[in-house]
Amino acid sequence: MKQNPVAIVTGASQGIGRSTAIRLAKDFSVVVLVARSGDALKDTAEAVRAAGAEPLTIAVDLSRVESPETVVKTTLDHHGHIDALLNIAGAVPQIDLFEMTDDQWYAGMELKFHGARRLTIRAWEALKASNGSVVFMSGAAALEPQAYRAAVSSINAAIIAMAKAFAERGIKDGVQVNSIVPGPVMTGRLQSLLEKWAPAHNMTVEEAAKKFPEEAGINRYGKPEEIAALMAFLVSPEAKWMTGASVRMDGGEVKGI
C-alpha cells in the first residue's frame, strides 16, 4: 500500500459503515466518510480521528446521479489519490413481493446498486492509478431468496453479479474487486426492524430478537465490527490476489454449497 493511503467508505454514519471506517483508520492515513447527513457523520469522524486517521466527511445522497462526481472530486482535490472504495450504503426495505410498489423497488435499486455502480465507475481511473481495491456490500438474502424480502434478495444478487463484472475488468486494469455477503448483523436498522415486526406477530422485541436467529439456523447475530474486520482484510496487501470473490460471513445462515 502506498504512502498516506486513502479509503472511501459509504454509509459511514452508522452500522457496518461506521464500524468499517473506524477499523480502516488503523491501516489508512485518510478515511473519507460518505453519508446523506453531515451531522450524522460527526461522531464517526471523531472516532476515526481517535483511531489514528484523518477523516474527510462528504454529505451526499448517492441515489442522485451527480453525487459520485462530488465524492471523487472532493477526495482527489484534498488528497490526490484513492486507494480503496468500500460501497456499503443502501438499505432495502423488507416488504412482501406482492406488496412492494414500483417506487420502493426503484428507490432500493437506485441507492444500493446504482449508487455503488456510479461511484465505482467515477473512481475507477484513480483506482487504476493506485492499483486500488473495491468492496461491494451484498447480503445473505441474495443466496436465500424469500417472498417477504424479494427486493433485498434481488438487489443483493445483482450486486454480487456486478462485482464480478467489475472484477473481470479490474484484472486488466489492476483494480481488485470483491463483494461480501453478511448474514443478519445487529445494527440500529435491524433493531428498528425487530421493533416493527414484533407487535405484528404478538411478540415482545426480545422474543422477536431470539426468534430471528433460530429461524435462520444460526446461534447469534453478527457484530458490525466482525464485518468491518473482513472489509479491512479484503483491502489489505495480504488479500491482494483475491479478486472476483463473493465472501460470506453469515454465521452459517446459507446452507447451500
Q: Would you identify the CATH topology of the domain 6-183+223-248?
A: Rossmann fold (3.40.50)
pLDDT, tens digit (0-9, with 9 covering 90-100), for 118-136: 999 999 999 999 999 999 9
pLDDT, tens digit (0-9, with 9 covering 90-100), for 127-163: 999 999 999 999 998 998 888 888 999 999 999 999 9
**Mean pLDDT value across the chain:** 94
Say how many Å lie between the first and final Cα of the chain, rounded: 34
**How high is the pLDDT of residue 25?**
98
Q: Delimit the domains of the chain by residue range.
A: 6-183+223-248, 186-221
**How high is the pLDDT of residue 191?**
83
pLDDT at 70 over 90: yes
pLDDT at 1 over 70: no
Residue labelled with grid coordinates 468500500: 86
Mean pLDDT for 241-249 is 98
**How high is the pLDDT of residue 203?**
86
Provide DSSP, 104-155.
HHHHHIIIIIIIHHHHHHHHHHHHHHHT-EEEEE--GGGTS--GGGHHHHHH
Higher-pLDDT residue of 216, 86: 86
**How high is the pLDDT of residue 101?**
92
Mean pLDDT for 217-224 is 94
- pTM listed for this prediction: 0.94
